[in-house]
Amino acid sequence: MKLLWKLRFILKDYWQQYLLAFICLQIVSALNLLPPWLIGHVVDGIKDNSLTNQELASYVAGILITGVAVYGFRYVWRAKLYGASIELIRKQRSRLFAHFTQLSPEFYQHHTTGDLMAHATNDLNAVEESVGVGIMTLVDSLIAGFTVLFAMVFLVSGQLTLLAMLPFPVLVWVTKRYGVALYSRFGRSQAAFSNLNEETRESITGIRAVKAHQLTERQTQRFEQLSMEAVEANTSVARVDALFGPSISLFFGLSFVLALVGGAWLISHGQLTVGLLTSFTLYLGQMLGPMLQFGWQFNVFQRGSASWGRLEKLLSRQPKVSNAPDAQQAPDDTSLSINIQSFGYNTASDEKQVLQGISTEIPAGAFIGITGRTGSGKSTLLRLILREFDLPEGSSIQMGNIPLQQLTVESLREKLAWVPQEPMLFSGTIADNIRFSAPDASLEAVEKAAKLAAIDEEITGFKDGYDTLLGENGINLSGGQKQRLALARALLADAEILLLDDAFSALDMKTEARILKNLMAMKGKKTIILVTQRLPELITADHILVLDRGRIIEQGNHDRLMSTEQPEENTTEHWYAKIFRQQARTLLKPLEVKPDAVIKRPDVA
């Protein structure tokens, strides 16, 4: 019942359907009183030898007509009730999915995909059963039970009814105890299912790595272990679940015995007829259904309540990044001003800060390069520009002199197009994957973006071209092809700021040079921020930031950074020049470039 109280604001939207179902259910309960009453008259007529053929025919006709009417009304209330529950859960599933899309990346660092999938499937299915089958059995047991009880008291005998009902308070107490045990055990079984679900997802997603490292037996054993844990958790639920039916049958059988003993005594004292006792036993038989339903609905509601409790924890989570009450649209001026005193992912702890003392200006239309050691905070800086996280007080990133926190998240991200280190592709065609950022884009626009990303020739070389179907996360593409598809997607979005997070790491130098040439043609029209460890990519950059341990250790254009003196081996100063020369020896040797030469920035149209 607590579950229904929690869901009252959701259920009220479907009150008309539920009301019609309850009215039909009440009519069914009233009609069900007629057959036992008619059968009682037939028994008394036979006993008294007063039953005529005409009376028997009318009694039989009445029973048949009642059966047809009950069939029709039952169809109506079941259709309305189940229809309402299905629609209700459809909306809640959509609500949950929309909630997932609003939550910040921090949330997904603490919840696995398998666990969230279990919430969106198993837990919502349990709640659907509660608001469908659960409400049906609850109302049916109450309406039918009280209707039959009324008939037993006023049409037969109040004394006999009181005697027959003696075991029922004990039954209510027993089923409540079962329900408490079921609630905790069902919660554990759902958690076990979440773990099993995540293990399955990870193994299938990483099946190539599993096979390559010959870990199939190990993964199978892990799955078997989690599967056994899930079985044990569900078995503990089944043990409690199995007690409901036998307990109800036991107490109901005791009620029947008391009814027969009491009925025989009343007949012997002339206070009851055999026909009325027959009607009473039939009415008591009709009580079995509501009693079984009562136990079943208690079971269903405990399951639904446990699942809704799990869902409430998710729905109560609020996104760390949201629109301020006075948030405004992003300005036309897309220049960025970055001033980060310090930033760490876990602000509640004393862990090392990821970024410190970052201060720079990025004019609109500029080409900005960001480089540095692995783990120096380069990707984090891009994620802060995307406003995946909000900065602590004292730090800010501004667009057009307006802090990002004062802009709506939607309008800010419309100004940005992002290509991550590990591109995410979806099951579907190549064209659909490129269109992900602009679903209504024409095929011509898709092809233009693919040409800019230097992937068009390879796509047209496929048998189905742009209609080629991709497997999960583009499993049938190479790493370089995935990166270029993700780049094409970002270019199709036609955003004013392009964030490239090591987006060319899987490309050969020739392909990379083609793409850079295409991007340089956009210089002045779009702001390009490129994170990379391939320093030759940054020769034409207007400004380069070199990060180390979350701090800017060098900045300037390529010529300025290369003009510094050769550093000592054990220092981090002049890191850019040192690494560039090392890469030049490897990458530019075929071009006969001297190792210590300073490569001048070419003029770019």
Going by DSSP bridges, is the β-strand pair 428-429/551-556 parallel, antiparallel, or unpaired? Answer: unpaired
Q: Is the pLDDT of residue 388 over 80?
A: yes
DSSP state string for 40-61: HHHHHHHHHT---HHHHHHHHH
Query: How many Å from the N-terminal Cα to the C-terminal Cα in the chain?
Result: 72
Q: What distance in Å separates the CA atoms of residue 81 and residue 140, rounded to the nearest whole number?
A: 12
- The pLDDT score that the predictor gives to residue 421 is 84
At 573, is the secondary structure helix, strand, or coil?
A: coil
- The pLDDT score that the predictor gives to residue 570 is 44
- The pLDDT score that the predictor gives to residue 541 is 93
Per-residue model confidence as pLDDT tens digits over 242-273: 777 787 778 878 888 888 888 888 888 888 88
3-state helix, strand, coil in the chain (%, to 5): 65, 10, 25
Q: Is the pLDDT of residue 298 over 60?
A: yes
- The pLDDT score that the predictor gives to residue 588 is 52
Q: What distance in Å separates the CA atoms of residue 397 and residue 407, rounded to the nearest whole number?
A: 11
* Cβ proximity of 161 and 149 under 8 Å: yes
Segment of 114-128, 539-553, 587-601 carrying the highest mean pLDDT: 539-553
- The pLDDT score that the predictor gives to residue 46 is 82
Position 603 confidence tier, pLDDT thresholds 50, 70, 90: very low
Q: What distance in Å separates the CA atoms of residue 208 and residue 100, rounded to the nearest whole number?
A: 29
**Between residues 493 and 132, which one has the greater pLDDT?**
493
Q: What distance in Å separates the CA atoms of residue 106 and residue 141, rounded to the nearest whole number?
A: 46
pTM: 0.69
- The pLDDT score that the predictor gives to residue 158 is 83
Candidate from 97-101, 129-133, 420-424 with smallest mean pLDDT:
129-133
What's the mean per-residue pLDDT of the chain?
82
* Cβ proximity of 535 and 580 under 8 Å: yes
Q: Which CATH number applies to 330-415+496-504+520-605?
A: 3.40.50.300
At 371, is the secondary structure helix, strand, or coil?
A: strand
CA dihedral 194, 200, 203, 205 (to 10 degrees): -90
Which one-letter amino acid corresponds to residue 281? T
* Cβ proximity of 305 and 2 under 8 Å: yes
Q: Is the pLDDT of residue 599 over 90?
A: no
Candidate from 6-10, 124-128, 373-377 with smallest mean pLDDT:
6-10
DSSP state string for 373-408: STTSSHHHHHHHHTTSSPPPTT-EEEETTEEGGGB-
- The pLDDT score that the predictor gives to residue 229 is 84
Percentage of the chain modeled with pLDDT above 90: 26
Percentage of the chain modeled with pLDDT above 70: 89
Segment of 143-147, 456-460, 508-512 carrying the highest mean pLDDT: 456-460
| Residue 206 CA, distance from chain mean position | 21
Q: Where are the alpha helices (DSSP H) in 165-273?
A: 168-205, 207-212, 216-268
Q: Is the pLDDT of residue 13 over 70?
A: yes
Domain ranges of the chain: 2-315, 330-415+496-504+520-605, 421-494
Q: What distance in Å separates the CA atoms of residue 277 and residue 40, rounded to the nearest whole number?
A: 8
- The pLDDT score that the predictor gives to residue 473 is 76
DSSP state string for 312-357: HHHHTPPPSS---TT-BPPPS---EEEEEEEE-S-TTS-PPPSEEE
CATH topology identical between 330-415+496-504+520-605 and 421-494:
yes
Per-residue model confidence as pLDDT tens digits over 184-243: 787 788 788 778 877 777 777 677 676 666 777 777 888 888 888 888 888 888 888 777
User: Once rounded to an integer, what is the mean pLDDT over residues 437-444?
Assistant: 89
Q: Is the pLDDT of residue 462 over 70?
A: yes
Per-residue model confidence as pLDDT tens digits over 317-353: 888 888 888 899 999 999 999 999 999 887 544 457 8
At 471, is the secondary structure helix, strand, or coil?
A: coil
- The pLDDT score that the predictor gives to residue 547 is 94
Position 63 confidence tier, pLDDT thresholds 50, 70, 90: confident
Q: In what order do the strands lie in the sheet with 336-343?
A: 355-362, 336-343, 396-399, 402-403
CATH number of 2-315, picked from 1.20.1560.10, 3.90.1150.10, 3.40.50.2000, 2.40.110.10:
1.20.1560.10
Q: Is the pLDDT of residue 598 over 60?
A: no
| Domain topology for 421-494 | Rossmann fold (3.40.50)
User: Once rounded to an integer, what is the mean pLDDT over residues 64-74?
Assistant: 87
